[in-house]
């Protein structure tokens, strides 16, 4: 059976350490009754441990060579191998609209996009685990005041509890990446309603962090205009990385009130 050559343009780094693969597979055990979707299985080093758990497992893979390898290596699993782009898939169709656990050794170049897709489908994905670049994992798990705290931290932590589980060295991959990796687990936190407009919340977070070195008084102006009516508020003396998720929710409600006031006045 011909091995698959990792493709740089797909961000492929194939895991070769079985102990690490087993460790990643075991992160899904917090939801033992749910089916599993693995993204980017490559040559199935993680898949082999997932299928032993006695649960429905599906894998989605974009690389046609990897798909061919998996079909040959796991002939009885063929119906659960999906050749598609995860970022473009309708996840409602996967398990008849039922919730599932998302996992994988995610391609570094699209890991953030995968998590934004997770957020868009948060009612379907109560738990997401897997391996990503260490720097991105630290960013997701970071708290207010940290240099790594940012857009991804807040948008994910608004809906999920984040656990940084363990660090993985470059030598367990083929080819070895230039950076360390990490395994994380994100579990839905029970929040059903943020208490603010979720679209505006996302806009406020992204807009303020686009100028993260500036105080909110200045970084909020793209939304509220130069004559920002909220700048007397003490909160606006802070920089975005100083605000908790709840403070961003409060800020979003203040911004919405100000926008409504501006509409009335105009």
- Tens of pLDDT, residues 58-112: 999 999 999 999 999 988 899 999 999 999 999 999 999 999 999 999 988 899 9
Q: Would you place residue 187 in the very low, low, confident or very high pLDDT band (cuts 50, 70, 90)?
A: very high
| Residue 173 falls inside a structural domain | yes
Neighbour tally for 265: CB within 10 Å = 7
User: Could you tell me if 135 and 234 lie in one domain?
Assistant: no
Residue 130 forms beta bridges with which residues?
184
User: Could you tell me if 122 and 206 lie in one domain?
Assistant: no
Neighbour tally for 38: CB within 10 Å = 28
Choose one of 188, 209, 236: the last residue of a domain. Answer: 188
Percent share of the chain, pLDDT over 90: 72
Q: CA nearest 70: which of 93, 40, 91?
A: 40
Q: Would you place residue 263 in the very low, low, confident or very high pLDDT band (cuts 50, 70, 90)?
A: confident
| Residue 2 falls inside a structural domain | no
Residue 235 forms beta bridges with which residues?
none
| Residue 65 falls inside a structural domain | yes
User: Could you tell me if 224 and 171 lie in one domain?
Assistant: no
Look at residue 11 in the predicted model and tell me its pLDDT.
66
| Residue 25 falls inside a structural domain | yes
Domain with residue 240: its CATH number is 1.10.8
User: Could you tell me if 108 and 231 lie in one domain?
Assistant: no
pTM: 0.93
For the chain, the domain total comes to 2
Choose one of 188, 210, 231: the last residue of a domain. Answer: 188
Interatomic CA distance for residues 223 and 208, integer angstroms: 10
Phi, psi of 138 (to 5 degrees): -65, -35
User: Could you tell me if 207 and 164 lie in one domain?
Assistant: no
User: Could you tell me if 217 and 164 lie in one domain?
Assistant: no
Domain of residue 230 covers 198-265
User: Could you tell me if 172 and 231 lie in one domain?
Assistant: no
Q: CA nearest 215: which of 201, 199, 191, 234?
A: 234
92-129 CB burial, b ≥16 within 10 A, e <16 = eebbeeebbbbbbbbbbebbbebbbbbbebbebbbbbb
| Residue 193 falls inside a structural domain | no
Choose one of 188, 208, 240: the last residue of a domain. Answer: 188
Interatomic CA distance for residues 109 and 226, integer angstroms: 36
User: Could you tell me if 147 and 51 lie in one domain?
Assistant: yes
Q: Would you place residue 26 in the very low, low, confident or very high pLDDT band (cuts 50, 70, 90)?
A: very high
| Residue 79 falls inside a structural domain | yes
What tokens were used for 90? Answer: 């309708």
CB-based contact 174:14 (threshold 8 Å): yes
| Residue 205 falls inside a structural domain | yes
User: Could you tell me if 55 and 119 lie in one domain?
Assistant: yes
CB-based contact 184:157 (threshold 8 Å): no
Look at residue 181 in the predicted model and tell me its pLDDT.
97
Q: CA nearest 217: which of 200, 232, 203?
A: 232
Look at residue 229 in the predicted model and tell me its pLDDT.
66
User: Could you tell me if 183 and 205 lie in one domain?
Assistant: no
Q: Would you place residue 264 in the very low, low, confident or very high pLDDT band (cuts 50, 70, 90)?
A: confident
What tokens were used for 233? Answer: 């508020």
Does residue 2 carry a pLDDT above 80?
no
Phi, psi of 231 (to 5 degrees): -70, -10
User: Could you tell me if 42 and 158 lie in one domain?
Assistant: yes
User: Could you tell me if 14 and 139 lie in one domain?
Assistant: yes
């Amino acid at each position: 059976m011909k091995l698959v050559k990792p493709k740089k343009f797909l961000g492929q780094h194939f895991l070769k350490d079985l102990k690490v693969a087993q460790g990643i597979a075991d992160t899904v055990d917090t939801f033992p009754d749910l089916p599993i979707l693995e993204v980017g299985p490559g040559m199935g080093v993680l898949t082999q441990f997932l299928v032993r758990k006695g649960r429905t497992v599906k894998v989605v893979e974009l690389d046609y060579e990897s798909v061919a390898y998996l079909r040959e290596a796991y002939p009885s699993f063929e119906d659960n191998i999906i050749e598609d782009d995860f970022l473009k898939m309708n996840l409602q169709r996967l398990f008849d609209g039922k919730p599932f656990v998302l996992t994988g050794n995610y391609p570094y170049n699209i890991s953030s996009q995968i998590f934004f897709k997770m957020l868009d489908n948060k009612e379907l994905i109560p738990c997401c685990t897997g391996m990503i670049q260490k720097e991105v994992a630290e960013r997701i798990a970071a708290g207010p005041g940290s240099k790594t705290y940012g857009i991804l931290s807040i948008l994910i932590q608004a809906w999920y509890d984040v656990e940084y589980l363990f660090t993985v060295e470059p030598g367990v991959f083929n080819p070895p990446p230039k950076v360390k990796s990490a395994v994380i687990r994100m579990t839905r936190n029970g929040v059903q309603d943020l208490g603010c407009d979720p679209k505006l919340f996302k806009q406020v977070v992204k807009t303020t962090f686009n100028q993260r070195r500036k105080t909110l008084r200045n970084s909020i102006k793209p939304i509220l205009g130069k004559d920002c009516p909220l700048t007397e508020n003490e909160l606006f003396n802070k920089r975005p990385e100083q605000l908790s998720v709840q403070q961003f929710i409060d800020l979003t409600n203040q911004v919405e009130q100000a926008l409504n006031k501006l509409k009335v006045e105009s």
